[in-house]
Every structure is written in structure tokens, then in C-alpha cells.
Structure 1
Amino acid sequence: MRETDLWARLNRHLGSAYAQVWADQTSLAGLGNRTVRDALRAGVPCKTIWRVVWEALELPAIER
């Protein structure tokens, strides 16, 4: 998964404005208590980030 795909999915599920805020402010245990943005900076693969986000947002299995 590319970073652009990750952002497209976040925007689809959270809305483009809120996705940015959520990615900057929400710490996720599955990412080592980092935010999405911090995880990206740390080099965590986008696919890994999406799986943690998917679980945190309790999205349907089809979105995984």
C-alpha cells in the first residue's frame, strides 16, 4: 500500500478535514502509542498503519 492509498482511505472514512486532525492527534497502541503521522515518519509500513487504523475505527472486514 502506498501512502496516497492510506490517506485516501482515511479521507473516505473520516472526511478529508477530520482525517488530518485524527492522524495528528490520535495515539494508537498498535503503533507503539504513536499517531499515524508519527508512524509514517518512523517508517512504519502503510499497510501496517492501515490495519491498526482499521481495527481502531472498527471498520467492516471488507475495508481491510
Structure 2
Amino acid sequence: MRYRELTDLVDDVLGPVQGRLLLDELVLDALGNRTGAQALAAGVEPRAVWHALCDALDVPDARRWGTDPHRQAPPRPADR
């Protein structure tokens, strides 16, 4: 997953305003008590950030990939 794909999913699933706010402000235990934005800046893979954000917000698997029926779901990181 690339950064652009992450931001597209954030906008589609969580909303462009609320999603970006959550990415910037929500501290996630799974990311070492960092926000998604901090984790990305530290080199964490976008797919790991996406899964951590979805897990924290209890986003069901069926909704995690947005409204595009052709979007491929990124696999979970190997360390999960």
C-alpha cells in the first residue's frame, strides 16, 4: 500500500475531514503510542497504519476497503 492509497481509504471510509483529523491526532497503542502521521514519518508502512487505525476504531473488515469494488485489500503486516 502506498501513502496515496492510505489517504484515499481514510477519506473514503472515515471522511475527508474526520479521517485526516484521526490520522493526525489519534494516538494508537499498536503504533507505539504514536499517531498515524507520526508513525508514517517514522517509516511505518501505510498498511500497518491503516490496520491499526481501523482496529482502534472497530471498523469492520467489510468496510475497510471503501466503496470501490475493485480495490484490493492490502494484507496485514507480517508481525500481526
How many residue pairs get matched?
Answer: 64
Q: Which has the higher strand share?
A: 2
CA distance in 2, matches of 1:25, 1:59: 18
Deviation at 1:45, TM superposition (A): 0.5
Computing the radius of gyration from Cα coordinates, the structure with the larger value is: 2
TM-score (normalizing by structure 2): 0.72
Runs of 4+ residues over 6 Å off in structure 1 = none
- 5+ residue gaps in structure 1? none
Q: Does 1 or 2 have the higher relative contact order (CA < 8 Å, sep 6+)?
A: 2
Q: Which has the higher helix share?
A: 1
Identity of aligned residues (%): 33
- 5+ residue gaps in structure 2? 65-72, 74-80
TM-score (normalizing by structure 1): 0.87
